Structure 1
Amino acid sequence: MNTTIPTLKNYITINDHDKSRFRENGHVMIENVLNDEEITHYRDVINKAALRFNTEKRKLQDRDTYGKAFLQIMNLWEVDEEVRTFSLAKRFGKIAADLLGVENVRIYHDQALYKEPGGGFTPWHQDQYYWPLDTNNTVTMWMPLIDITEDMGMLTFASGSHKNGFVKNIAISDESEAILEDFIKEKGFEVTRAKTMKAGDATWHYGWTLHSAPGNYSQNVMREVMTIIFVADGAKIIAPQNEHQEADRQRWICGMPVGGTVSSELNPVIL
């Protein structure tokens, strides 16, 4: 039996059209980021780690809107060597750097996002609301580990919304869903999502891109997704604008001081 672990050190080329679409719309889908052998291997690795480190014990019906949206297991690369190979993969880092138009990126953190069968919708939000960073050069990779359809909780984007930057100092919640949906309608942003994604495809979106997801309406299929957040090398830490940014500064940047660069031991350069 072949037990070779895919290293994901080789690069794939991102064409100029995809770069332009990403920068204009704030998001882009890139197919076949991982091949069948690679995604099969890492799906098993990530699922085992997520099961081991998941701390959510409440039944689905006993959770609030945020809790019903997904099971969230963060920074698996810290605690599992094989997940580390995945999350710190040069292939992903190079795509992130090429899309952002920078030389190097650092990891901010990874997170497994599993939407259970019957799991609720993910409210409209901006990822970067949570990050005390001075740059717009941030990007989230969102990769399904299985083939998914839109009725399983496909990521949904408000195209062009990243250009408005920080919209509202509000965490992901029923309130963010209502306020940001009104904002999207007021601005006339086109709301788009893929009909299907194959395991190993990935969407990429700026930290300021407004996005959401419907519930998982499948009867018995978990929506398995792994995400990695990248930030341009040299980004600086700003004074936290809310309690979540302060919590992020302490946890994901190891409490490094305001004005310093994002360069803690948890934020290695990927390239």
Structure 2
Amino acid sequence: MTLTESGPSSTDVLTSNGHRLDPGPRRLGRLEPVPQTERHDRAALRHRLARDGYLFLPGFLERETILEFRRYYFTALAGTGVLEQGTDPREGRAAGGGRDLEAMRRVLFREIVPGPEYEALCRHPRIVAFYRWLLGGDDLHLHRRKLIRHIGPGETGIGTATQAHYDLVYLREGTDKVLSSWIPLGDCPLERGPLIYLEGSHHRVRAEEAAGTLRHPAASITADLPGLAEEYGTRWLVADFEAGDMMVHGAHIIHASLDNVDPRGLYRLSTDIRYQSSADVIDPRWQNHWHANDGI
């Protein structure tokens, strides 16, 4: 799928949990990358983050670093039936069936999530240096609860793609100044189900949070993304991501993900991690490794 000036071309169909997004220019648009002229301007980035709710940083990390981690991840899961036999783990080609879900969870939560390879990625020197610079201090905290997910092509239905939400509902025992990085671990074009953002939604969410008038107190607002865009009178913003790109977003902007309908049969692999100043209140529930039954 490719983007035109008004959004995806007329032949493209974008869905999330089975709901078809309105492809018209009033309801669908592009994420705006941070231009190179602003990459080293902290005031400009802070202004952009406050205005837009996100920073889209193409090529932030070295492509090879990301692809080698993708290889490590799927190599670790190779014995669980996740990958098509005889294919390159770095490619991440999904098997047709017969996955051992118990074995997959065991490898994910006992080996990958607490492992040194994943920790090194999340604490990559470029990421750490960026957040220290952006937040304005060396006193930096990475939340230990870090999520990494693979979504296969054709996996549909409510709860497969990420439903619309904003991060603060999961982090209420800490500061609202926490920042999230969503990092695609491999190329992630539209058909592979990347994260998408509801344009300008953080302004309304922040105002309703302050006023205590939110009508959607639950963690996930809805799976009906086209209906939410109509309610807010705004657009879903999308992009074709490449390995090495990084998104940064605040705690109030609403986001979700598309369904993976990749015709090549490749997994969407991604991680989301959260940094904040150590001087701000830290949510204690996020200081353990992610596991299947953590209840958050």
Same fold, TM-score > 0.5, yes or no: yes
Name 2:155's counterpart in structure 1: 119
Matched residues, number: 214
Residue segments in structure 2 that go unaligned for 5+ positions in a row: 1-38, 82-95, 98-104, 289-296
Contact 1:14–1:95 (Cα < 8 Å) also in 2: no
Root-mean-square deviation (Å): 3.4
- Higher RCO (Cα < 8 Å, 6 or more apart): 2
Measure how far apart 1:49 and its partner are: 5.0
- Equivalent position to 1:129, from 166, 169, 176: 169
Residue segments in structure 1 that go unaligned for 5+ positions in a row: 1-12, 55-59, 62-70, 239-247, 255-271
Residue 106 in structure 1 maps to residue 141 in structure 2: yes
Matching residue's letter, 1:83? Y
CA distance in 1, matches of 2:80, 2:129: 28
Contact 1:27–1:159 (Cα < 8 Å) also in 2: no
Contact 1:74–1:111 (Cα < 8 Å) also in 2: no
Matching residue's letter, 2:152? E
Name 2:67's counterpart in structure 1: 40
TM-score by length of 2: 0.61
- Equivalent position to 2:51, from 15, 24, 27: 24
Mark the CA change 1:158 to 1:103 in structure 2 (over 3 Å): closer, same or farther: farther
Matches within 5 A, 1:138-157: 138-157=178-197
Q: Larger Rg: 1 or 2?
A: 2
CA distance in 1, matches of 2:110, 2:128: 16
Identical-residue share of aligned pairs (%): 21
CA distance in 1, matches of 2:201, 2:77: 32
Mark the CA change 1:32 to 1:18 in structure 2 (over 3 Å): closer, same or farther: same
Residue 87 in structure 1 maps to residue 116 in structure 2: no
Matches within 5 A, 1:1-271: 14-16=40-42, 17-48=44-75, 79-100=114-135, 103-108=138-143, 109-120=145-156, 121-163=161-203, 164-165=205-206, 166=209, 167=214, 168-172=216-220, 176-178=222-224, 184-194=229-239, 196-219=240-263, 220-237=265-282, 249=285, 252-253=286-287
Runs ≥4 residues deviating over 6 A? 50-54, 74-77
Measure how far apart 1:206 and its partner are: 1.1
Contact 1:77–1:87 (Cα < 8 Å) also in 2: no
| Post-superposition CA distance 1:58-110 (Å, at most 9, x none) | xx99xxxxxxxxx9x57977621122211122321232344445554311122
Secondary structure of 1:133 counterpart = coil
TM-score by length of 1: 0.66
